[in-house]
Amino acid sequence: MANINNIRMFIRVYELENMSAAARDLQVSAAVASSRIGELEKSLGIRLFTRTTRSIQPTEQGRIFYPKALKVLEALDEAEAAVHEITHNPRGSIFVSAPLGIGRRLIAPNIALFRDKYPEVHTRLRLSDRALDLTGEGLDVAFVIGNPPDSGLMMKPIATLPRVLCAAPEYIARKGAPQEGADLIQQDHDCLLLRFPGSTEFRWSLDTSDGIQRFDVTGPFACDDGDVLTNWALEGRGIVNKPQFEVQNYLDSGALVRVCPLSPPPNAQLAMLYPHKKNQDPKSRFFMEFMSEKLRAALS
């Protein structure tokens, strides 16, 4: 197999009819140029040029070889240009999933901005609070909150999300304000539950004086949409466990009030999961880098 650098040197020597000029054109020494031509002739088993002290002329075999070699080199240059183009200007489609709350508030708007920057990439977004089978459903990237089970997927952390338990003043006036996790059980508080097949959110993990403990909370309302739970909390229906950024405006306005100050929920991690092979896919890599930057800025 002929070395492509040797073929490139042959073409420039053929076109310029001068070894030194070809060497300068390809930014190598005349000795390297001569060596490359010699290596190519040896690999082909033919002489490509007739050399004298004053000139270098192609042989008949060299004239036959030139147009074929030129086509090979042009095809290679086109292939390299195409790879460079897709690497720096990605194209294609990406299938992404995200939890409903952060998906609506932050991810969907930033996906639109990503399209503005990379118009050749089309993005399909699935919003769901249920656990998804990333590989089985053909997802390229999945945004997750919390600690996903070990699935062999790659994980790219984005930001730490404080969580908060909160309820409306109306609920607190009616049922009281729990101070710690045990109060949720002992005082029979109405907890608003995020439930879907495989969900464990009805077991709330809280940071107590004895460390992280799980509490089997109960309540009259459950839904697989976290925003519905927030609306129920605003109506005074119960206590909701949410990422703080999703309810910060309501906390600031007093529409919701923090409860269980002695046993707050531990912080959660926002991250992206992706199959290992997608790390080498330019469009997925550009997407993850873009979203990481935007989300970190929004959540800082």
Query: What per-residue confidence (pLDDT) applies to 89?
Result: 76
Looking at the structure of the chain, the number of domains it has is 3
Range of the domain at 49: 4-88
| Residue 246 sits in the same domain as residue 231 | yes
107 has a pLDDT exceeding 60:
yes
Share of the chain above pLDDT 90, in %: 64
Phi, psi of 206 (to 5 degrees): -130, 150
| Residue 294 sits in the same domain as residue 150 | yes
Q: How confident is the model at residue 81 (pLDDT cuts 50, 70, 90)?
A: low
Q: Could you tell me which residue, 117 or 130, shows the higher pLDDT?
A: 117
| Residue 215 sits in the same domain as residue 230 | yes
| Residue 236 sits in the same domain as residue 259 | yes
| Residue 118 sits in the same domain as residue 156 | yes
**For 16-30, what is each residue's pLDDT tens digit?**
889 999 999 889 999
**For 132-190, what is each residue's pLDDT tens digit?**
777 777 889 999 988 776 567 888 999 999 999 999 999 999 999 999 999 999 999 99
| Residue 97 sits in the same domain as residue 240 | no
For the domain that residue 232 is a member of, what is the CATH number?
3.40.190.290
Contact present, 107 and 143 (Cβ < 8 Å): yes
Residue 107 neighbours by CB under 8 Å, 6+ apart: 96, 98, 125, 143, 291, 295
Query: What per-residue confidence (pLDDT) applies to 253?
Result: 98
Mean pLDDT computed over 277-283: 67
Of 41, 58, 88, the last residue of a domain is: 88
| Residue 27 sits in the same domain as residue 76 | yes
**For 221-261, what is each residue's pLDDT tens digit?**
999 888 999 999 999 999 999 999 999 999 999 999 999 99
Query: What per-residue confidence (pLDDT) applies to 300?
Result: 84
200 has a pLDDT exceeding 60:
no
Q: How confident is the model at residue 215 (pLDDT cuts 50, 70, 90)?
A: very high
What is d(CA 25, CA 30) in angstroms, rounded to the nearest whole number? 11
For the domain that residue 51 is a member of, what is the CATH number?
1.10.10.10
| Residue 34 sits in the same domain as residue 183 | no
| Residue 140 sits in the same domain as residue 232 | no
Of 56, 88, 120, the last residue of a domain is: 88
2 has a pLDDT exceeding 90:
no
75 has a pLDDT exceeding 90:
no
| Residue 186 sits in the same domain as residue 237 | yes
| Residue 234 sits in the same domain as residue 260 | yes
**Rounded to two decimals, what is the model's pTM?**
0.66
Of 69, 88, 107, the last residue of a domain is: 88
For the domain that residue 114 is a member of, what is the CATH number?
3.40.190.10
| Residue 279 sits in the same domain as residue 252 | no
